[in-house]
Amino acid sequence: MNTVQERTAKIADLGLVKKAGESLTEKGRKLGIRGTALYMAPESIRHEDYEPEADIWALGCTILELLTGKEPWKCDRNTERVTILFKIASTQEIPEIPSGFSEEAEDFLKKCLNFPTISNNPKSRWTADMLLGHPFVSTADGVFTRRERERERQFSWSEIMWRREKILGNGGSAIVYLATVVSPPRSNELLPSLMATKSAPVNNCQLLSIERELLSQFEGCPHILRCFGDDVAVEDGEQWYNILFEYATGGSLADPIQSFGSGLLETEVRQYTNSVLLGLSYIRNKGCVHCDIKPHNKLLVDEKDDLSLVLNGKMNMVQERTAKITDLGLVKKAGESLTEKGRKLGIRGTTLYMAPESIRHEDYEPEVDIWALGCMILELLTGKEPWKCDRNTERVTILFKIASTQEIPEILSGFSEEVEDFLKKCLVRDPKSRWTADMLLGHPFVLAADGVFTGSIREERNRVVHPKAA
């Protein structure tokens, strides 16, 4: 009989911890680089920029060293520290990932170290929450497995009283309501007072229950709308099945287009595109395809931290919003045919965003999400649907044009070069020639997204009206 001791790796040495978003200054000057040279991220050396992404880079370097037994950058005792710093900051190199690792380990390292993009852009690294759902980690069978982490986050719905409020939307398979928590759980502080609930009668909830099952695969991704759980409630003598989500106070990306009839600022679209791409990258890494990307199911969720800006002498709170992917009911496994009893189930998704191969061959692989993304971005920029049509245009006419001609949605002149090139990388009729989500995260259009201080906030700053001199 042997006793096997389970060990946990715990983080120590917190003396260099800093607040995210807070500059490292003292009396108006930066305090310089901090950390250990071999594990420093490029942006930390170039700009003395220390945000959560720097920890992910260092994590990749650490794991690489643990797997190989060698430091992440080749050096000897005679190699000066400044030489290593120069290589990290001023070249396009990343630490070498040797062959021989499992596919999961290799892909995990690439998600930390920005491979295969050549930009070393910190915003294209996966977050810690996203990495917790990566196959390399989720297959760990120690004390804190993914399943047990999920159990830690669960709570008993029998402890909670909540009620439906106004209707937020009405889809084909369910009604979406605003929900308020009347009696919060005793054991869980993560449940907000306002949520959204997607509800359907128990006798007609098959599609909704399938969506709930799919949602469990994407726990932890901050770019997919968070699900808090599901329950069955009795209302007016009828049983209802409910899935409870975080409440998207900003509505959908389709709302401003429908309200104002015009496109969004390019800086706003860039920021939203970055978030959606990170979500698509996560979905693809899980071996899945969304199959219905469009503005209507990209919801704007307020970030927790507000930003204070002084405008016209007054303090104004500017809320940063993230576009999150929702409506996962049509998700399928990549490489898996959509068949039932030997026959194909037909096309799926929304006509105006369907890729040519989806209509011609009922083929749904990750490339269809990229085509739909291109259509969505085009609509966000122009305020118009990607294909010209009116109320009298029949659905079959649009389907024929997409499937049987060589046309692509019209990319109007007047966009920046980065936007135009990005759209051309998405709207390629040959699916194998389209860029992947990971490749697009390294495109200049997305790289220009600069985190918290987005273009929308810069625009707000530019609206300051300075008082005239007396």
Q: E-assigned strands of 127-262?
A: 161-170, 175-183, 194-201, 227-235, 238-246
Out of 44-53, 66-75, 145-154, give the one with best mean pLDDT. 66-75
CA distance readout (Å), 133 to 213, 333, 437: 15, 16, 18
User: 144: pLDDT confidence band, cut at 50, 70 and 90?
Assistant: very low
Q: Is the pLDDT of residue 4 over 80?
A: no
Q: Residues 408-431: what's their mean pLDDT?
A: 94
Q: Residues 80-109: what's their mean pLDDT?
A: 83
Catalytic one of 55, 292, 369, 438: 292
The amino acid occupying position 255 is D
Whether 107 is catalytic is no
Out of 62-76, 180-194, 276-290, give the one with best mean pLDDT. 276-290
Q: Is the pLDDT of residue 209 over 70?
A: yes
Mean of pLDDT over the chain:
79
* CA end-to-end span of the chain: 90
How far apart are the C-alpha atoms of 306 and 353, rounded to whole Å? 34
How far apart are the C-alpha atoms of 327 and 198, rounded to whole Å? 10
Q: Is the pLDDT of residue 70 over 90?
A: no
Q: Residues 85-94: what's their mean pLDDT?
A: 81
CA–centroid distance for 303 within its chain: 13
Q: Is the pLDDT of residue 117 over 50?
A: no
In 3D space, the residue among 167, 227, 229, 237 whose CA is nearest the CA of residue 201 turns out to be 237
Percent of the chain with pLDDT over 90: 36
User: 34: pLDDT confidence band, cut at 50, 70 and 90?
Assistant: confident
Q: Residues 141-161: what's their mean pLDDT?
A: 45
CA distance readout (Å), 349 to 297, 368, 387, 424, 441: 12, 10, 15, 22, 24
How far apart are the C-alpha atoms of 74 and 163, rounded to whole Å? 60
Contact of 354 with 372, CB cutoff 8 Å:
yes
The amino acid occupying position 468 is K
In 3D space, the residue among 78, 85, 108, 110 whose CA is nearest the CA of residue 35 turns out to be 85
In this predicted model, which residue has the larger pLDDT, 138 or 133?
A: 133
Q: Is the pLDDT of residue 318 over 50?
A: no
How far apart are the C-alpha atoms of 203 and 306, rounded to whole Å? 43
Q: Residues 286-307: what's their mean pLDDT?
A: 84
Q: Is the pLDDT of residue 64 over 50?
A: yes
| Token pair for 137 | 């980690």
Q: Is the pLDDT of residue 142 over 70?
A: no
**Range with the lowest mean pLDDT among 132-146, 148-162, 279-293?**
148-162
In 3D space, the residue among 456, 443, 352, 355 whose CA is nearest the CA of residue 397 turns out to be 352
**Range with the lowest mean pLDDT among 214-218, 297-301, 315-319?**
315-319
- 177: which residues sit within 8 A by CB, 6+ positions away? 164, 165, 166, 167, 168, 196, 197, 199
In this predicted model, which residue has the larger pLDDT, 398 or 115?
A: 398
Please tell me the predicted confidence (pLDDT) of residue 426: 97
| Token pair for 61 | 């370097």
Domains of the chain: 25-125 (1.10.510.10), 152-246 (3.30.200.20), 254-462 (1.10.510.10)
DSSP string over 396-416: HHHHHHHHHSS------TTS-
pLDDT digits (tens, 9 = 90+) for 322-374: 999 999 988 999 988 766 555 555 678 898 999 999 988 878 999 999 999 99
Question: How many other C-beta atoms lie within 10 A of the C-beta of residue 108?
Answer: 22
Please tell me the predicted confidence (pLDDT) of residue 462: 37
Q: Residues 189-217: what's their mean pLDDT?
A: 87
The residues with which 164 forms a beta bridge, in sequence order, are: 179
Please tell me the predicted confidence (pLDDT) of residue 315: 45
3 state SS of 343: strand
User: 398: pLDDT confidence band, cut at 50, 70 and 90?
Assistant: confident
Please tell me the predicted confidence (pLDDT) of residue 306: 42
Helix H or strand E encompassing 344: strand 343-344
How far apart are the C-alpha atoms of 310 and 328, rounded to whole Å? 40
Contact of 248 with 324, CB cutoff 8 Å:
yes
Please tell me the predicted confidence (pLDDT) of residue 262: 84
**Range with the lowest mean pLDDT among 17-21, 25-29, 90-94, 275-279?**
25-29
User: 307: pLDDT confidence band, cut at 50, 70 and 90?
Assistant: very low
